[in-house]
Amino acid sequence: MLQELLFALVGYTGDLIIDHRDPHHLSLDTPISDECTFKLAPDISFIHPSERDVIERLLPLGFYYRELDRFATKSRNLSWIRSKNNVPLSQPTELLKGKAKKSSVYRRAIANGIVEVLSVYRSAVLQVEQKLLEDPTPILATVTQGLNKFGVLLPPLYELVMEIEREDIRGGQLLNLLHKRCHCGVPELQACIQRLLWHGHQVMYHQLASWMVYGILQDQHGEFFVRRQEDGDAENEPSRPDMFDKLAQKSPDDVSLTDWHLGFHIYLDMLPDYIHMRVAESILFAGKAIRILRNPSPAFRFHDSAFQQQVPKGSHRVQGFIERFSFQKEPCLDSKLIGGELLPQSEADKIDAMLQELKESTEFHKRSFEYAVDFIRTIAASHLWQLVVIRADLNGHLKALKGYFLLAKGDFFQCFLEESRQLMRLPPRQSTAEADLMVPFQLAAIKTIGDEDKYFPRVSLRMPSFGITVPSSQMDLSKVRISHDGTSGIVSQGSASSELSLDGWDGIALEYSVDWPLQLFFTQEVLSKYRRVFQYLLRLKRTQMELEKSWAQAMHQDHTDFAKHRKDRMKCSILQQRRQRSRPMWRVREHMAFLIRNLQFYIQVDVIESQWNILQARVQDSHDFTELVGFHQEYLSALISQSFLDIGSVSRILDSIMKLCLQFCWNIEHHESNPNTFELEHITEEFNKKSNSLYTILRSSRLAGSQRAPFLRRFLLRLNFNSFFEATARGVLNVVRSRPTLPVLNQWHHMLPYEKWVNRM
C-alpha cells in the first residue's frame, strides 16, 4: 500500500489509488484539470478511516506534481521549431502564427524553474522511500513528515499554472504575475516564486543584452515590451515574400530612418508594472541608438574618412567639443576615436558587463536595474551625440537653416525679392512657376553668396501649388474668394463672410537636403515647422520691400516732374496740389511701414536671435542626443508661439494686414497719376481696423502678461511709443474715454491725425 502511495505521489496511479480521468488518454494538449482527480479506490475496506484521511490529504500532492510536470513538458517542447522551419516562405504568416501561438520562451523559462522544484520534490519522495525500506515497521507518518513542506508549495504553483493556462499569460505579463505572487507571507513559497521569477528574468536580460548591446530585437513570439511597429498590426501584416520585397526596395538609409522614427515602440501589454515607463523608454532609445551606431550609412563611412583627416585641422570650437566630452571623468573622444568605430568595443563590453551583473543576481533590485539602464542610455546618447553633433556637423546645419529658413541671410533674400519682383506681379503659371522662380533665385545666389557657402547646394526652392497655400490652422479656405481673372479679392469686414485675399506666390517654400545621420535630428516634422516660419517671414519681408519701393518710386517720379516743370508756374501749382492730395495716402503708407518694420524687427531680433542664443548655449553645454532634440523642439516651438503662428486670430489678422499693404502698393503703382480714391479709402479703413485689433489682442493680459512671449512688451512699447495705438484702439472698441492731451501730429508727424483716424473707424 505504501509503495503504491509513493508511485501516486509522483503521478502514477494504480489499482488502489485511481485517477478519475483516463491517464492513457492524457496528452500535452489536454487541458489541466481544475480539481484533484486522484482518489482511493472505493472498494478498499482494509484501511482505517484515520489512515484514509491522511492518504486523501497526501494524494493532491501527486495530482499537483503530475499537472505541473505536464505543464513543464508542454512548455519545454521544442517540436514547434522543426514545424516552423519546414513551412515554405510562400505560406502565409497566419499559419506560422497559428503554429507558434502557444510557444513562449518565458513559459519555457518558468517551466525550467518548475522542473527544479519538482526535482526537489522527487528527491524528497525518494528519501521517504529510503526511510520506509530501512524501517522494519514502516508507517504512514514517515510519508507525511517527509512531504509536509510541499503542502505549501505545490498548491500555489498549481494555481499559478492554472491561471497561466487559462488566461494565456506570456512574456512581460508572466513576469508581472510572478512579481505579484512574490509578495506572500510564506518564506518557502516566496523563495520558490522568486526562483521562478529569476528564470523569467534570465530571458528578459538575454533580450535586453541583444537589444542594448547589438541593437537586435530577439523576440520571435512577441513577448518583449519593445516591439516592431508592424508586429502590432497583425491584420495588415503582409506575407513574408511581400515583406522581403519591400525591404529590398528600401535603401539602407531608409530602413535605418524608418527603424528610428517608426520601427519600434513600447508595447504596454508586455511591460511589467515594476518597470517604470521612463525606464522602458530609455531601453527603447538605447537599443535604437545602438542600431544606428552599429549600422552607419555606406555614404557616411566614405565621408567619415575625409572627416578623420580634417578634424586635427578643425576649428577651436570643434576641438573644444571633443576635449570637453567625457563620461564619468573618462575621456571618450580623442583623435583616434574620431576615425574609429562609432561604438567602441570597450563601450559595448561595458554595457554587456552591467547586464551580466544584473543577470547573475538572485533577486531583482529595482534601483540597480534603473541605474544600469540609465548608465547604458547615457553611453548610447553620448555616442549618438558625438555622431550627430561632431561628425555630422550639426551646428553648421543649424546655422544654415537659420540663414535660409529664418532669413538671417537678409542680403540674399533682399536680392531675390528684387530680382523676382516683376515676376511676382503676375499670377504664377501652373506649369512653370517653380522654374520661373529659379532664375532670380540663382541670380541672387551668384550676387550675394557665390561659392563660399557649402550648405547652399542643399537648399532648393519649391512651389508646391500656387494660389491658396495657407495652412488650414490659420484660415478657413471656404472664406477665400478668387475673381474670374485669377486675382484675389477682398471683402469688407462688415460682411457676414469675412474673406481674405491671397497671393499666388504665398506658396513659395524651401527644402533642405539632409544626409544620414542628420535625419534623426531634422525630421520631416521639424523641417515643416521651418518651412512654416519661412513662408511667414518671406511674406513679411516682401511686404516691407514693396512699401519701401512704392515710396522710393513715388518720390523719384515726384522729383523728376518737379525738375522738369519748376520754371512753369502753372505746372508747379498742379504738382503742389497733387502733393497735397497725396499727403494722407503717404501717411497711411508710413503707418503700414511702421507696423511692418516693427513686427519684422520683433521677430528677427527679439524672437529669433534671442532663441538662437539660448539654443547655442544649450548645444555647447549638452552631450546628450535626446537633450539636444528636446532643446531644438523647444527652440522651434518658441519661434512659432512668439511669432503668433499658433494663434489663429492673430495670424489671420497679420495675414490680412500684409495683403492690405500689398494691395495698397499695387494700387498706387498701377494708378500713379490718378489713384483709385474709393479703393484706397477702403484699404485704409480695413487696415486701421486690423492694426488696432492686432494691438488690442496683443496687449491683452492673456498674451502680454504670459511667458509665451517674453519680449512682447518691447514690441508693444515700440508700437505705442506715443500712445497713438492705444488711443485709436479705444475708438475701435467704442469706449468713451478722454482723448490724449498730446498733439498727435507733433509727436509723430507721419501718422494720421487722431480725429480723422477715429472718424474713419
Give the pLDDT confidence of 191-238 residue by residue, as tens digits.
999 999 999 999 999 999 999 999 899 988 889 999 987 654 443 444
More confident residue, 76 or 396: 396
| CA atoms within a 13 Å half-sphere pointing along the CA-CB vector of 150 | 27
Query: Which of 292-301, 392-401, 492-501, 637-646 has the weakest average pLDDT?
Result: 492-501
Most confident of 21-35, 236-250, 639-653: 639-653
Is pLDDT of 354 > 70?
yes
**Section 493-518 average pLDDT:** 66
What is the share, in percent, of the chain residues with pLDDT greater than 90?
25
CA distances from 15 to 7, 8, 41, 46, 529 (A): 11, 11, 7, 14, 81
- Residues 6 or more apart whose CB falls under 8 angstroms from that of 513 comprise 457, 458, 459, 460
Residue 359 carries which side chain, given as an amino acid letter? K
DSSP 521: T
The answer to whether residue 695 scores a pLDDT higher than 80 is yes
- Are 642 and 607 contacting, i.e. CB atoms less than 8 angstroms apart? yes
319-323, 560-564, 599-603: segment of lowest average pLDDT: 319-323
pLDDT band at 252 (very low <50, low <70, confident <90, very high): low
Give the model's confidence band at 582: pLDDT under 50 very low, under 70 low, under 90 confident, else very high.
low
Mean pLDDT of the 336-356 span: 76
Most confident of 420-429, 435-444, 478-487: 435-444
For residues 395-410, give the mean pLDDT: 92
Give me the pLDDT at residue 25, please: 60
* Beta carbons of 650 and 698 less than 8 angstroms apart: yes
Question: Which runs of E-coded beta strand occur in 118-253?
Answer: 226-228
Average pLDDT over every residue of 460-467 = 71
Residues whose CB is less than 8 angstroms from the CB of residue 645 and which lie 6 or more positions away in sequence, other chains included: 474, 532, 533, 536, 651
Cell of 565: 516743370
Query: CA angle, corner 708, sides to 707 and 710, nearest 5?
Result: 60
Higher local confidence (pLDDT), 585 or 162: 162
Residue 422 grid coordinates: 516683376
Asked if 428 and 462 count as a contact pair (C-beta separation under 8 A), the reply is no
Cell of 542: 516682401
Q: What is the per-residue pLDDT for 707?
A: 65
Can you say whether the dihedral through the CA atoms of 54, 59, 61, 64 is positive or negative? Answer: negative
Query: Exposed, middle or buried by CB within 10 Å (0-12, 13-18, 19+), for 473?
Result: exposed
Mean pLDDT: which of 65-69, 131-135, 470-474 is highest?
A: 65-69
> Do 619 and 389 meet the contact criterion of CB atoms below 8 Å apart?
yes
Q: SS3 of 735, please?
A: coil
Spatial distance between the Cα atoms of 7 and 14, rounded to a whole number of angstroms: 8
DSSP state for residue 155 in the 8-state scheme: H
Which whole number is the average pLDDT over 499-504? 50
Mean pLDDT of the chain: 75
Task: Give how far Cα 66 sits from Cα of 19, 188, 358, Å.
Answer: 11, 21, 34
User: What CA–CA distance (Å, rounded) separates 600 from 540?
Assistant: 7
Residue 127 sits at φ, ψ, to 5 deg, of: -65, -40
* C-alpha–C-alpha distance, residues 74 and 310, integer Å: 61
Element (H, E) at 509: strand 509-512
Q: What are 594-619's pLDDT values in tens digits?
A: 988 899 999 999 999 999 999 999 99
- When mean pLDDT is compared across 154-163, 201-210, 519-528, 731-740, the lowest value belongs to 731-740
